Amino acid sequence: MLGCGNSTLSEEMYDDGYKNIVNTDYSDILIKKMRHKHQQLRPEMQWLEMDVRDLKFESGSFDFALDKGTMDAMMTTKGDVWDPSEDVVESCNKEVDEVLRVIRNGGIFLYLTFGQPHFRKRYLTRPGTTLEIRQLGEAFHYYLYIVRRRE
């Protein structure tokens, strides 16, 4: 879980049977709080202070990586989504580079966002991968981007 924040998604996944979850966030205070909150009920879940642009895992360490809003937060920190600053472009590209490095061949990077494809495809379309986009919701759409690293 990339940039987990204080979202309940990890705990809900854990309670649904997905026990091997590694949560990362750049906030040390948040990570300590979440680790303390879940240590008794969800002991297999890990909480690590880490920047998504510089993941401290070995290459090919994961089958799956999930971003629910972290790239969105990086994109909205400065300027305009129509004309993002160089810093925003670099940050988003670094995140995707790092995620693709740490997932194994055949692995999946799942990105859930309200961000429309014309704002996101530029970061997610990479050599050696396939990109599938699913539009979800009725009146207010959100998008599921599925990046698969080819075997």
Q: DSSP states of 66-119 as a string?
A: EEESHHHHHHTSSSBTTB--HHHHHHHHHHHHHHHHHEEEEEEEEEEES--HHH
Q: Is the pLDDT of residue 31 over 80?
A: yes
**80 pLDDT tier (thresholds 50, 70, 90):** confident
What is residue 130's three-state secondary structure? strand
pTM given for the model: 0.93
Q: Is the pLDDT of residue 78 over 90?
A: no
Return the H-helix or E-strand segment holding 32.
helix 28-38
| Of 52, 130, 117, residue with least CA distance to 81 | 117
**pLDDT mean over 117-128:** 94
Average pLDDT for the chain: 94
Q: What is the DSSP letter of 55?
A: -
